[in-house]
Amino acid sequence: MTLTPDLHARLKRLAQVAQKAAIHLQASDQALFEEPMTPERAESMGSDTERSDRLEAFVSRFSRLQDMLGDKLLPHLLAALGETPRSSLDNLDRAERLGWINSSATWFRIRALRNLMVHDYIDDPRVLADALNSAHDFIPFLLSAARAMHAELEHRGWL
C-alpha cells in the first residue's frame, strides 16, 4: 500500500514518541521499584517529595505509553495497512490477531488500572501498593506491544 505523505509523517512521529515514552517508562519503573512496593512504602510516598515525584512520573508515563499505543499509533497503523480503524475493542482484537499484543482482554485490564491510578485519588495504601505492583507487572506487556508495532513499521519500510 502507498501511504499518503501525511499519514507516513504521522506514523513516523507517533512511532518516535512511543519509543521515547517506552524508554522513559522503563526509567521511571526502575526508579520507583528500586525496592519492593509495600503498603507502608506507598503510604510514605505522600510525605517524601522525591518518592512522590517518582510515583507521579511512573503513573504519568504508564498512562502516556498505553494511550499512545492504543489510541494513537494502533489506529494509524491499521489505517496505513488499508484497514478502517474501528472501536478500541475492535482495533485491539485486530492487534491481537496480528500478533502486536498478546491479549486485548489484558489491554483492557491495563486501561482500567490506568484509569484507577489517574482519575481516583487512592488513599488506602494497600490499594495503592496493589495498583502500583500490578502496573509494574504490566510493563513488559506494554513494552512488547511498543516493540511489535515498531517492528511492523520497520518491516514495511515506513520508518
Q: Give pLDDT, residue 118.
A: 78
pTM for the model stands at: 0.92
pLDDT in tens, 6-52: 999 999 999 999 999 999 999 999 999 999 999 999 988 878 888 88
- High-pLDDT (> 70) share of the chain, %: 97
What is the spatial distance between Cα 16 and Cα 159, in angstroms, rounded to a whole number? 9
- What lies within 8 Å, CB to CB, of 36 at 6+ separation is none
Contact criterion met (CB below 8 Å) for 149 and 73 = yes
Which domains occur in the chain, in start order? 5-155 (1.20.120)
Q: Give pLDDT, residue 1.
A: 52
Say how far residue 127 (Cα) sits from the centre of its chain.
Answer: 21
pLDDT in tens, 97-138: 999 999 999 999 999 999 888 776 678 889 999 999 999 999
